[in-house]
Structure formats: C-alpha cells, structure tokens
C-alpha cells in the first residue's frame, strides 16, 4: 500500500481489519469514501460511533439491543417457555427472517473452542442456566452444524437435561432449493437418517 498517499493508505488499512476484506476490496471501499459527499462521510463516522456507544446486551438473552431489554424479550406475545440458543446476533436475525419461531432466544456470544481459548465460562452459559427457573419447557440448540457448534450443543444438553428441561436441536438435512448431486455425503447421510413419512 506504500504507493497510496498516507490518508488513503490509512483508511485502506482500517477496512482491511474488517472480517472478509482483502486489500483490493479495502482499496475500492476507501476510494468510495473519498468520492462520497461530506455529509455521507460524516454519517458513516457517526454510525461507527453509534454502534460502539449505543449497542448493549439484552439483560435477559444477551442479544444486541439499544435499551435494557431487546425487542423479543420485551414482546409479551413471544412464548417465554421456549428458548432457542444461538451463537450470535446474526443467527437471531436469520431465524427472525424465517417467521417460524415465536419463542425467545439466548445468545451465547460464540462457541466452545479450546483451540482459540474459548471455554464455556467465556460464553453466556451462566446467564442461560439462570433463565431455566421452572417456566422454561424447552431449549432448542441452534449452534452451527460444524465441530465446534456440535461440541457446544453436546455440552449444553448435558448441562440442561438434568434440570428437567427438554433439549432439542435443529433438523439436519438437505437445504431447500439445493441440488442433491452437489450435497456432501455427511449432509445426505443425516438427511436419510432423519427422513420423515409423507
């Protein structure tokens, strides 16, 4: 980046620190900022400040929110007896978009990953257990279908089942709209195993 003038090189470096951004897209975005109106650039700066200062964690489910309790936890229409446990806020958004789930969530803030030094005490597990005070009937574990997500799911189910709460997890299978020809064998095996009658 030595061939860009300092202010541009500095902004490119900031973009590069974001997840999934390489040097070419960082440069493209930095030039985008350069060509933006001063008002848009000021709005961008204010928005960065906004997420750092105004975003907190919901005191119940640990999801991101801008007040004490998130919109789902404060909604009297949501079924408080079912908790869907997810890794992060983005999974909450994805599940909300499906309009299928009417219970509440619990955001772990990650998954157990000894390789990266993430042990259960660094996740919002204690907060989840506190919520299982007799009014909760079911905990749906919706961690990602990979090794770390599975490890976390097994850990949580062993922790929660003795408390007399039903523990379930999302169904494995072929994704809707997928081409079976290109499905991996593990997914196909799980889809066969979990087959249902018409």
Minimum distance, C-beta of residue 143 to its own copies, in the bound complex (Å): 17
Check binding of 10 to its own copies (CB under 8 A).
yes
Q: Which is nearer to its own copies, 65 or 125 (CB)?
A: 65
Check binding of 32 to its own copies (CB under 8 A).
yes
Check binding of 21 to its own copies (CB under 8 A).
yes
Check binding of 101 to its own copies (CB under 8 A).
no
**Contact mark string toward its own copies, 48..87, x via CB under 8 A:** xxxxx-xx--------xxx---xx----------------
**How far is 88 from 62, CA to CA, in rounded Å?**
9
Q: Which is nearer to its own copies, 71 or 189 (CB)?
A: 71
Q: Which of 66, 114, 58, 50 is nearest to 86 (CA)?
A: 58
The order of strands in the sheet holding 79-86 is: 103-107, 79-86, 138-141, 166-169
Positive or negative, the CA dihedral 66, 71, 73, 75 is positive
Which H or E run includes 151?
helix 147-160
Q: Where does the chain show beta strands of DSSP type E?
A: 56-57, 64-65, 79-86, 103-107, 138-141, 166-169
**Residues at the contact surface with its own copies, assessed by CB under 8 A:** 3-8, 10-11, 13-14, 17-21, 25, 27-34, 36, 38, 40-41, 43-45, 47-52, 54-55, 64-66, 70-71, 88-90, 93, 96-97
């Amino acid at each position: 980046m030595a061939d860009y003038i300092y202010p541009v090189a500095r902004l490119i470096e900031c973009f590069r620190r974001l997840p999934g951004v390489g040097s070419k897209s960082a440069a493209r975005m930095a030039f985008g900022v350069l060509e933006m109106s001063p008002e848009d650039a000021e709005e961008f700066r204010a928005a960065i400040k906004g997420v750092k200062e105004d975003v907190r964690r919901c005191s119940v489910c640990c999801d991101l929110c801008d007040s004490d309790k998130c919109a789902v936890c404060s909604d009297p229409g949501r079924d408080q007896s079912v908790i869907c446990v997810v890794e992060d806020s983005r999974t909450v958004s994805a599940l909300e978009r499906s309009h299928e789930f009417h219970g509440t969530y619990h955001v772990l803030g990650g998954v157990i990953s000894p390789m990266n030094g993430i042990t259960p005490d660094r996740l919002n597990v204690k907060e989840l257990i506190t919520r299982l005070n007799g009014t909760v009937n079911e905990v749906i574990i919706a961690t990602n279908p990979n090794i770390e997500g599975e490890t976390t799911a097994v850990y949580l189910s062993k922790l929660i089942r003795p408390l007399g709460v039903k523990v379930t997890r999302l169904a494995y299978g072929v994704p809707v709209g997928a081409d079976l020809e290109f499905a991996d064998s593990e997914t196909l095996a799980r889809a066969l195993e979990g087959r249902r009658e018409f």
